[in-house]
Amino acid sequence: MTRQLDYKAKWYGRTFVQLDRWFPGSKTCSQCRHKVEQLPLKIREWDCPKCDAHHDREVNALAP
């Protein structure tokens, strides 16, 4: 299933990284990598308690 994604990423000069299904991407700060322990699904935006970065949950999950 991910073979095509890997192929397209290479074709366009991008990097494809497959993460574990349970990787906490939406609750890990994309700026400092601090992981928030509790983040209910109803919370759509949050501020990192360590670096004060403001995150949209979905955009943050896609950040490198």
The pLDDT score that the predictor gives to residue 10 is 95
For the chain, the structural domain boundaries read 20-64
Residue-wise over 21-59: b if at least 16 C-beta within 10 A, else e? eeeebbbbbeeeeeebeeeeeeeeebebeeeeeebeeee
In this prediction the pTM is 0.66
The pLDDT score that the predictor gives to residue 20 is 86
Mean pLDDT, consecutive 10-residue stretches, the chain (64 aa), reads 90 90 89 92 94 91 73
The pLDDT score that the predictor gives to residue 64 is 67
